[in-house]
Structure 1
Amino acid sequence: MAVVAVALLDAWLWWNRYLSGWGAVALFLAVEAALAGAYVWSALRRGIRPLPVRILLHEVRAITDLGRLLKGRVVVPEGAVPLHARTRWWHLPAMFTVAIVIEIIVIELLVPWPWLRLLLFAGSLYSIPLLWGYLAGRIVHPHYLGEDLVLREGRQEILRVPATDIVEVREVRGFAAERGGVGKQLVLGGPEGTNVEIRLADGRSVALWLDEG
């Protein structure tokens, strides 16, 4: 609600020529920064991790994972074997990147105010590495096999079982592209679906995609 009030006041001041375009942007950012700072300080005093802090942490992790991807590093415990699922993972971020580039071109052609074009350009440009970083998390935090079999989606651990509980591993082609499951079956699909089924000693099974080799 405060954001809307500040934006309306800012627009009124700009419309009545009390502020220039750059002045309106500077005032809006200054007031929002002050409000955000007060909110974060108050939340931290109460022992709560506020939304802006959580968002910042997610963005830092995404950029960190993108750096790991570019360096070819994965995050698994020492001695564990990574179980990669990288096939066609880049298709989705590549398509979104093309869409963002088209959006930038359209904004440059249609938005008449240079200051607004600059803000939108910066935001769109910043979203590209964030997008790749979020999706890179699944590549640099793969499933792995050590003393335990650990299945993950990015940084989130989905299943951990002792390696000795694995009864059978076989090739079974499926086409589920998302996480799901029915009864004792867990499905961790990827862009290409699933190609491996793991059976466990307790009767559960997991269908997932693993790269060949």
Structure 2
Amino acid sequence: MRPITQLARSFVRLEVDIWVSLARAVTRRPDLGGGAPMRYAGAVSATIWAFIVVSAVEIPAVHLLIPWPAARIVALGLGAWGLVWMAGMLAAHHMHPHVLTDDLLRVRYLRRVGLDIPLSGIRAVRHDLRAYDGAKSLQRTGPGDETLAVIIGSSTNIRVILTEPRTFHTPQDDFTVSTVAFWADDPKAAVASIRAAVGDRAV
């Protein structure tokens, strides 16, 4: 029963995230936490937009093809929900970017993942493109390369090497790692910003 319960909780949490993000998008209130954003939505925006367009075309097509009124209403409701859900997923990627403040780097994925890395705990940061297998947005690699990867579009392109291993609490599990990898739409600008914020310690 536990896996089913965890799956149900994950679904409810994602549903809440979608609607909160959609509300933020409508009111133009991205969750920046007082810092400068580093976007990652560009890696998946085209794919999500494709689903939105297909869903928008599918709703009237299904309405015309189904001859039974009751089935038509059900299909219309499901289609409208799916369309809004995909719009919310797009909003979630845009409304919750990575954030760089005066004190820390917050690496994020939607509302569900937020890895707070104090700038004083960063030893090095570099542009490093890597691909990952699997559908999980959060993966740990190792042994020998203790990295927690926050994956967008099956890839990461920035690696932050920590001064010492650090434990991150996530919805998936607690991970103790010495490196964090993530995706940024403009990795060169992101690396430059982090290095500038950290100062001479980062290479």
What is the TM-score when the length of structure 1 is the normalising length?
0.63
| Selected match of 1:121 from 57, 60, 76 | 76
Equivalent residue letter for 2:140: G
RMSD (Å), alpha carbons: 2.8
Matched, 1:137 2:111: no
Contact 1:87 1:192 in 2 (8 A): no
Q: Distance in 1 between matches of 2:68 and 2:32?
A: 48
- Show the counterpart of 1:69: 25
Contact 1:150 1:157 in 2 (8 A): no
Larger helix share, 1 or 2:
1
Q: How many residues align?
A: 160
Q: Distance in 2 between matches of 1:61 and 1:182?
A: 27
Q: Distance in 1 between matches of 2:51 and 2:113?
A: 26
Higher relative contact order (CA 8 A, sep 6+): 2
- Show the counterpart of 2:141: 182
Larger strand share, 1 or 2:
2
Contact 1:145 1:163 in 2 (8 A): no
What is the TM-score when the length of structure 2 is the normalising length?
0.65
After superposition, the C-alpha distances for 1:109-150 in whole angstroms (9 at most, x for unaligned) are: 432112321331132123212222134213211121222222
- The structure with the larger Rg is 1
Contact 1:190 1:209 in 2 (8 A): yes
Quickly say closer, same or farther: Cα 1:189–1:157, change in 2 above 3 A: closer
Q: Distance in 2 between matches of 1:162 and 1:101?
A: 43
Equivalent residue letter for 1:171: H
Matched, 1:191 2:153: yes
Structure 2: 5+ residue stretches without partners: 1-7, 166-177, 190-203
Contact 2:98 2:107 in 1 (8 A): yes
Equivalent residue letter for 1:124: G
Deviation of 1:88 after TM superposition, in Å, equals 3.4
Identity %: 25
Equivalent residue letter for 2:151: G
Q: Distance in 2 between matches of 1:166 and 1:181?
A: 19
Deviation of 1:185 after TM superposition, in Å, equals 0.5
